[in-house]
Structure 1
């Protein structure tokens, strides 16, 4: 600042000296005054020009480089440019943090919607757009009530109690694929609201399955227990001869065996769900699996057809010399369950075919085909549910627990395979497991 004042006074002195020199013959004093005024006017004009250049720089908004202005205005321009750059950097940092925050919300598995004080959508993430069928760009500033026309939600939004969440039916819900959404509103800022949503369809389905599972297990155990209790009371209260006593004890043994089978199947399911999938290091002979499976199937067939005068026509094709990677116990359980189901539901004298074949694409298929009564198409999607039975009385008569196909499904998934079911009423059924090519190879020499 001192240097600028010195330059100003030096400029004035130069003007006065020039005026005194020019008017040295007539009136030096007057010439000095005129020179001083001219120098002041010229200084002001130069300053105005610098100010105009600074104003033009500000109007253009060319803040990438500082304005080229000298003098006091140059100092103002430099300080202004530094202040603008600092503000721009601060705004850029804030924008970067905002984008990081929005990216984090965008990656959230829950839906997030920001509403203004009039309940209009200011922003929503992709999850919320999927939940409610919104367009994140076109539906901005639309009233959320106009897009989400659920009476329960409308009452919740109009009310004043946001301490709890509500569960509504998703806009894209169908009878075959129901969608249930949990919605929770939170207040923030000046009248604004934060709407959070999460898909609870799987959670509610799991809870329903848990309740059904407990009810089914209780029912399955209660029935044989009731029978056992009745037989015990009979044995305790009635005088029975040896033949009647033996018959009652045999019936009690069957009910106890039924409960034991149920418990074993439940333990098998629990082990399958709670253990890691089998690796590819253990290889099992396919021929050995089919032999064990055939032995179990024939034993069950003899038991079920005893006294009928007819037997099942059970045919097991000789498998190629191949082996499969996986758990021998699990694979045998799955294969035996498919064959045992065919034996249980195929009338005596019916035909059952067991086959192992390599498909053209390198995969392998284990299949069981029977000539039983067949299954209506409406039952097929639910066959692998726990305790689901097409004919519950027939299943109990033959000793089924309703868990066999659930076990097959879990074993199939754990081995990366695919369970296929083909059936028509009156034409029998065909159940098959298709194993990936990576789990099958020719039998290796020991």
Structure 2
């Protein structure tokens, strides 16, 4: 109960008590009635004073402010943002941050927004007949480099001002293009052998053409080759999918490179391809183990040696070297002596389905995914991939992998 409310109650009770005392001492109802009236009058005066005080306090209470942030506050926020952003007022760029000046030019401050943005939809939102009165978002191109794509967000803030924020969407666009290209390339790689197989089946069903034993054997051999090519393609796609799914789980097992290399090279030497005998191995002894996934490193070596045997000149050696570097890393390199690769092709060799010579690669049974798989394996292992080639001399692919080190106070597992 408030202090004033208690005072009214005390005054009222005191009046009642005074009225009773007056009646008891005087025995007069008139005197008691007069005393009661006086007490009620005092209560009324006190209540009126309370109401007047409350009304005055309410009248003096400050109005709640509806003022938005000042321009200085807006400018402070703009300068703290990492993305290009600026404020437009009556068609002019009133304030902008450093990234906006770097992207659009230092001349834009205080200038007409049409000098900074030449996109019709953006101009219409910021200075045209349909100037934004509610949050809006559009995609624009032509800012920065030709390959860049931007998302432009417009937010009305105060007094007709518009806050414009630019978000670089180039990475998302590039990822989408890669996805579309991947689906198109995978479809093409599967459709080409399938079309051949279906054509051969149709020929073999012909009573005349299919009756010739020589034709049947030739067609069946080609169909078997195309079917196995599709199988290799599907296997490589599944391998690539598994490696990408594990890329955020780096391996942490010791892997001894010398026995692994000898194991992979033995597969080629014992195969039907006589080129397997051209593989030469050079290794440092002793060789510390690397940190890795043994199955994936085996696949990496298999892909590199297979490529070198395919594209190296006949009867020339393919050299596999393993050695320790000085930076806590070990290196494995595979060198062939072939036609080499033009410098402009080197940056794209690890793209999926990219081929320098498509017809030659397909004729040799390549899927176009070998080096893409190698790149993802190296990335998962925290390593580095180097591609060096000289036209007319040959190509060297070098992979650098971190050496295994057990956590402090623990003995690591034996190298596999």
User: Could you tell me how far 1:184 is from its partner in structure 2?
Assistant: 3.7
Mapped to 1, the partners of 2:69 and 2:404 lie a distance apart of: 50
Q: Distance in 2 between matches of 1:152 and 1:100?
A: 25
Residues in 2 aligned to 1:264 and 1:439: alpha-carbon distance in whole angstroms: 33
Shift of residue 336, structure 1, vs aligned partner: 1.4
Q: 1:303 aligns with which of 263, 270, 273?
A: 273
Task: Report if aligned partners of 1:186, 1:193 keep a CA contact under 8 Å in 2.
Answer: yes
CA distance in 2, matches of 1:433, 1:272: 17
2-structure distance, mates of 1:99, 1:424: 59
Given that residues 364 and 440 in structure 1 are in contact (C-alpha distance below 8 angstroms), is that contact kept between their aligned partners in structure 2?
A: no
* Residue 101 to residue 272, structure 1, CA distance change in 2 (3 Å): farther
Listed one character per residue, the Cα deviations across residues 123-170 of structure 1 (whole Å, up to 9, x for unaligned) are: 43x55455x2556xx964343333446677557655445655132122
* 396-405 or 328-337, larger mean C-alpha shift: 328-337
8 Å contact from structure 1 (residues 304, 344) kept in 2: no
In the other structure, the counterpart of 2:254 is 283
1:334 aligns to 2:300 (yes or no) = yes
Instruction: Sort the Cα spacing of 1:227 and 1:313 in 2 relative to 1 into closer, same or farther, 3 A.
Output: same
Once residues 384 and 440 of structure 1 are traced to their aligned partners in structure 2, the CA distance between those partners, rounded to angstroms, is: 32
What is the match of residue 282 of structure 2?
Answer: 317
Question: Which of the numbers 163, 167, 171 marks the counterpart of 1:202?
Answer: 171
Task: Describe the superposition over 1:79-116 as per-residue Cα deviations: whole angstroms up to 9, x where unpaired.
Answer: xxxx9xx99xx9xxx989x969955x666665432211
1:390 maps to 356
2:116 aligned with 1:143: no
Is residue 121–residue 139 contact of structure 1 (8 Å, CA) maintained in 2? no
Change (3 A) 1:413 1:226: same
2:87 corresponds to 1:114: yes
Say if 1:240 and 1:322 are closer, same or farther in 2 by CA, change over 3 A. Answer: farther
Which has the larger displacement, 389-398 or 112-121? Answer: 112-121
Counterpart residue number, 2:220: 249
Q: 2:321 aligns with which of 352, 355, 363?
A: 355
Tell which deviates more after alignment, 185-194 or 225-234. 185-194
Distance 1:340 1:439, change over 3 A: farther
Q: Any idea what SS the aligned residue of 1:350 has?
A: coil
Tell me the SS of whatever aligns to 1:378: helix
Q: How many residues align?
A: 344
Shift of 1:204: 1.3
User: Could you say which structure has the greater relative contact order, defined with CA pairs below 8 angstroms and 6 or more residues apart?
Assistant: 2
8 Å CA contact 2:75, 2:95 repeated in 1: no
Give the superposition deviation at 1:251.
1.6
Distance 1:240 1:214 in 2: 39
Matched, 1:227 2:196: yes
The 8 Å contact of residues 210 and 216 in structure 2, kept in 1 or not, is answered as no
The answer for the alignment partner of 1:400 in structure 2 is: 366
Distance 1:144 1:428 in 2: 55
Point out where structure 1 has 5 or more consecutive residues left out of the alignment. Answer: 1-82, 306-310
For 1:439 and 1:227, the matched residues in 2 are separated by 52
1:121–1:143: 8 Å Cα contact kept in structure 2? no
TM-score (norm 2): 0.72
Distance in 1 (alpha carbons) for counterparts of 2:268 and 2:76: 60
Within a 5 Å distance, the mapping from 1:258-269 to structure 2 comes to 258-269=229-240
Cα distance in 1 between the residues matched to 2:284 and 2:113? 63
Q: CA RMSD in A?
A: 3.6
Give the secondary-structure state (helix, strand or coil) at the position aligned to 1:416. Answer: coil
Deviation at 1:199, TM superposition (A): 0.6
Question: For residues 319 and 399 of structure 1, do their structure 2 counterparts lie closer, same or farther at Cα, with a shift above 3 Å needed?
Answer: farther
Distance, in Å, in 1 between the alignment partners of 2:355 and 2:174 is 19
CA distance in 1, matches of 2:126, 2:274: 63
Instruction: Measure, in 2, the Cα distance between the counterparts of 1:263 and 1:108.
Output: 46
- 1:217 shift after superposition: 0.7
1:322 aligned counterpart, secondary structure:
coil
Q: Is the 8 A contact 1:315 1:352 kept in 2?
A: yes
Residues 322 and 440, structure 1, Cα contact 8 Å, conserved in 2: no
**How does 1:41-190 map onto structure 2 within 5 Å?**
103=77, 110-124=83-97, 126-130=98-102, 132-133=103-104, 140-148=109-117, 157-161=126-130, 165-171=138-144, 173=145, 178-190=147-159
Question: 1:112·1:196 contact (CA, 8 Å) conserved in 2?
Answer: yes
Query: Matches of 1:421 and 1:325 in 2, distance apart?
Result: 22
Whole-angstrom distance in 2 between the partners of 1:219 and 1:123: 48
